[in-house]
């Protein structure tokens, strides 16, 4: 994981609307959710939603798959884990300490 990519993903999640959107997809699990279904839950204009969704897809946090006219969106769990790992993986590398999370994930 490169710093730039991690930062882009964190920034993508760092907007309340997008974070809410992402969490909806995380909750939805492997089945995913159609863009329209997400819109129903968020109650924001479709163009705004599309922008936010694009950001999550572009940064690799969400994947999309067409099913007829609807687009199914899914949280990219491996991507999420890589990001979390990145945050923790060098925990205390320069000092001895009880790792908070990092090694537990290794």
40 binds, among its own copies, DNA, none (CB under 5 to 8 A by kind): none
Binds its own copies by CB under 8 A, chosen from 67, 96, 103, 106: 96
Of 24-32, 42-50, 84-92, 96-104: span binding DNA (CB under 7 A): 42-50
Q: What is the dihedral of CA 68, 24, 61, 8, to 10 degrees?
A: 130
Of 50-58, 62-70, 97-105: span binding its own copies (CB under 8 A): 97-105
């Amino acid at each position: 994981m490169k710093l730039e990519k991690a930062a882009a993903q964190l920034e993508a999640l760092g907007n309340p609307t997008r974070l809410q959107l992402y969490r909806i997809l995380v909750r939805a699990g492997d089945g995913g959710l159609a863009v329209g279904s997400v819109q129903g839950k968020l109650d924001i204009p479709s163009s705004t939603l599309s922008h936010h969704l694009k950001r999550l897809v572009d940064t690799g946090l969400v994947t999309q798959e067409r099913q007829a006219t609807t687009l199914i969106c899914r949280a990219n769990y491996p991507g999420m884990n890589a990001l979390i790992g990145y945050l923790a993986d060098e925990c205390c590398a320069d000092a001895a300490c009880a790792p908070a999370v990092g090694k537990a994930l290794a």
